[in-house]
Each structure stands twice: as structure tokens, then as C-alpha cells.
Amino acid sequence: MAFRFDKYAHYENSVQTPEEHVRIFDRMFFDIRNRPARSLREDFCGTFLISKEWVKSHPERTAMALDLDPEPLKYGKKNTLARLSASEKKRITLLRENVCTAQKRKSEIIGAGNFSFFIFKTREQMRLYFKAAHESLSRDGIFVLEMAGGPGFILTGREQKTYRVPGLGRFTYYWDQKSFDPIHHHGLYAIHFKDKTGKMHRDCFTYDWRVWTIPELREIMKEAGFRETAIYWEEPGPDGQGNGEYVRTETGDNAYSWIAFVVGIR
């Protein structure tokens, strides 16, 4: 059969680390609440890989996955659910809904990965989202936001990395930082792929974001009703690069680019 390019498969195998997100969410909740969590809500879920890994990680765990875009949800229903057992499928609830709408079903963890909440560009929009998340959490729930920053995240430029994946072959992922406006902190970003045949697929995913800062998000969380906030900062490895381990701290190193988690504690 002729090769058919699949942007979601390429994205999942180059950008996403669902097993790591489950591990990080699990450790953060245990660190804050001193017990394991059972329920997760994945916001801006796309093909909901994190929810898939969450229900696979324990037979009592449930997940709710929210996204407004029907295309990735449809893809996930066909491909992600196929990787789950019948009992695991029953523990995932898929909703095509706005994350700014509070859910009656409460979750112990609400998580937004890969800087997805940067789509909100004003304090009013962000406060609305945070309030809805606060109302949707259980009494001892936590709200986890993955964010990035540093000069390396706002300078224009392109990064690339090559992967070899069964079924997809050898392909190249490109992260393109197209522009940044320092007055409004608005940035335009895109993901391109060159598939195993050498064909370039441009702007497979595009992002029009406001690049928020940690103090801004903590302030809005307090305004939205969160009792406390915490920062989990990535520790440096022997080579000075992040090692994938996140610790709670109030002091971060001034790295060229960094990833951190801002946590709202109900």
C-alpha cells in the first residue's frame, strides 16, 4: 500500500509523552495530598493520549477528556480507544465541550499539557477558565498547567529532530517559532513534518498564543478562588539540560528555555 501521511501519528510520536505526564501528575498529587489520585480531567485533550495512559495505569482510575475540535476527537475514537481494553474504555469519558464550562462531575486532577491554555490572551478569559476549573475540582483537587518560557521560547527560529518509528519510518519534526510581539506577548508558532518519503508537510499544527508568565498565572489563580499555588521546576541533569524530574520550589534558574508546572491547590 502507498504511504499515507498522518499528522496526528507523527505528532503523537514526536511531541507527546503521555506516560511522563501521568507520572508527573501522579507524583504532584501525592506530594500535595499524600495519597494517590484516581480521577483525571485532561483539558485540550486532542487525541487524549494522557487519558488513555491514566486509565491504563490503575484499574480504578477514571478520566474525562475535553476538547472543542471534533477532528482530533474523531481520530482518537478510532485510534486511541483501539489501544484500550473493554474495561479501560468504560473508564474514559470523551466530551466535545469548552473547558471554560464547569463540569458537574468532579475530578481530583485537572491538567492542561503542552502550553495549550496559552490560547487565552486576556486575564478575563484566563480567569473564566480558572474559575471553571476550580468549580470542577473535588474538594482536595489540584489544577496543573504545563508552561514554557525563557528567551529561547520567544526568539524567532526553527528547531528540528529526526525520529524513527515503526510504521512511520524515519521522519523529521520541525518546531517553528515564527514571530513574537513583546508589547502584547503574542507569539505565532507552527509544527512541520518531513515524512519518510522526503515530502515536507508545512503548518500541520499552528498556534497563536499569548506567552504568559508564572507570576501572572499565580495571581489569576488566586483571583479564581484557589487557596494556594505551587511551582514545579525541572531539575538540571549532568549536562545542564532538564532531566525530566520536577521539584516544588520558589526559585528557578534563568535558563535559555524552560518548562515548568504551575499548580492551583483548591
| For the chain, domain boundaries | 7-150+211-265
Q: Where are the alpha helices (DSSP H) in the chain?
A: 7-12, 18-33, 49-57, 70-79, 86-90, 123-136, 214-223
Question: 7-150+211-265: which CATH topology?
Answer: Rossmann fold (3.40.50)
Per-residue pLDDT averaged across 193-206, rounded?
97
pLDDT band, residue 240 (cuts 50/70/90): low
Percent of the chain with pLDDT over 70: 99
Handedness of CA 236, 149, 142, 47 (dihedral sign): negative
**Residue 107 · residue 91 · CB < 8 Å:** no
Tell me, what's the pLDDT at 248?
A: 96
pLDDT digits over 110-127, tens only?
A: 999 999 999 999 999 999
Give the C-alpha separation, 61 to 51, whole Å. 10
Per-residue pLDDT averaged across 102-109, rounded?
97
Per-residue pLDDT averaged across 13-33, rounded?
96
By C-alpha distance, which of 24, 91, 35, 31 is closest to 58?
91
Strands 107-112 and 137-149: parallel
Mean of all residue pLDDT scores within the chain: 96
Tell me, what's the pLDDT at 238?
A: 73
pLDDT at 184 over 90: yes
Question: Rg of the Cα trace of the chain?
Answer: 18
Q: DSSP string spanning 31-69?
A: HHHSS---EEEEES-TT-HHHHHHHHH-TT-EEEEE-S-
Tell me, what's the pLDDT at 92?
A: 97
CA of 251: how far to CAs of 118, 173, 239, 247, in Å? 23, 32, 20, 11
Tell me, what's the pLDDT at 236?
A: 77
CA of 218: how far to CAs of 126, 164, 171, 215, 252, in Å? 11, 39, 39, 5, 15
| pTM of the shown model | 0.94
Q: What is the largest CA-CA distance in the chain?
A: 56
DSSP label of 102: P
pLDDT digits over 88-100, tens only?
A: 999 999 999 999 9
pLDDT band, residue 1 (cuts 50/70/90): low
Tell me, what's the pLDDT at 3?
A: 85
For residue 201, give the H/E element and its range.
Answer: strand 200-210
pLDDT band, residue 128 (cuts 50/70/90): very high
Strands 157-165 and 258-265: unpaired
By C-alpha distance, which of 118, 185, 152, 138 is closest to 40?
138
pLDDT at 64 over 90: yes
pLDDT at 239 over 90: no
Beta bridge partners of 246: 234
Strands 107-112 and 39-43: parallel
